[in-house]
Structure 1
Amino acid sequence: MSEVFSEKVLKLIKKIPEGKVATYGQIAALAGKPQGSRAVAWLLHSCSESHKLPWQRVLNSKGKISFPAGTKLYRQQKKLLVSEGVEFGDGDMIDMSVFQWKKKVMPVKRASQKPRMFS
């Protein structure tokens, strides 16, 4: 995992507004690696405390908390989200159409290349 990607992920997670959530895949795509959702999860696991990340705002692609239901971390994440105004529906799913952070993936700008005939 590149240092640049890691830094982007940490900055993005810090920008998720209170009362909104994002998915691991969404953060990975915004950081430039759409297939990097596991790396996002690893960074959350290893850096949440040291970087004071709002880790509770990152969910799986189904709009659910990834910790097993009923565990201490599951209850803690749910409590934090509820305190921020996030509502849980049936099956403890969050309505992503309402609560998902709407940050858009910006296309990568590439330098235009002129064809070279003799290089």
Structure 2
Amino acid sequence: MNNQLDKAYRIYTVIAAIPYGNVISYGDVARLAGLPRGARLVGWVLKKLPEETQLPWHRVVNAQGKLISHNQQQRQRLLSEGITFKSNGHVDLKLYGWIP
């Protein structure tokens, strides 16, 4: 398998495993995929997902719990899973963060 495809597949596998009602940071996705220091790669892979994807991309946030560029679709999906936001608009990673 092509190295880039292998990396993307490993990232997809981690994202697919994120439980309903939880979030994880880009860096933690990379670490769990065996790609330390690969947070930017995770962002790139997510950006390339087709719009109709079934992967729960909306459960990936930055290390401070910030959403992707104030993405309203991401916010709505998280709210529908019962995830609430702090006054600064970030997800509370201590409350909703997932690390297997």
TM over 0.5, yes or no? yes
TM-score (norm 2): 0.89
Alignment correspondent of 1:84? 81
Once the 2 structures are TM-superposed, how far is the Cα of residue 75 of structure 1 from its aligned partner? Answer: 1.3
Q: Deviations over 1:56-109 (max 9, x none)?
A: 100011111021x3xxxx111111100001110110111111101122xxxxxx
Distance (Å, rounded) in 1 between the aligned partners of 2:39 and 2:96: 19
Alignment correspondent of 2:59? 57
| Long gaps (5+) in structure 1 | 104-119
Pairwise CA RMSD of aligned residues? 1.5
Once the 2 structures are TM-superposed, how far is the Cα of residue 50 of structure 1 from its aligned partner? Answer: 5.6
TM-score (norm 1): 0.76
| 1:39-54 correspondence to structure 2 within 5 Å | 39-49=41-51, 51-54=53-56
Once the 2 structures are TM-superposed, how far is the Cα of residue 24 of structure 1 from its aligned partner? Answer: 0.6
Return structure 1 stretches of 4+ with deviation > 4 angstroms: none
In structure 1, which of residues 27, 34, 47 is the aligned counterpart of residue 29 of structure 2?
Answer: 27
**Greater relative CO, 1 or 2 (CA 8 Å, sep 6+):** 2
Higher helix proportion: 2
Q: How many residues align?
A: 98
Alignment correspondent of 1:117? none
Whichever residue aligns with residue 6 of structure 1, its letter is: A
- Of structures 1 and 2, the larger Rg is shown by 1
| Long gaps (5+) in structure 2 | none
Whichever residue aligns with residue 81 of structure 2, its letter is: E
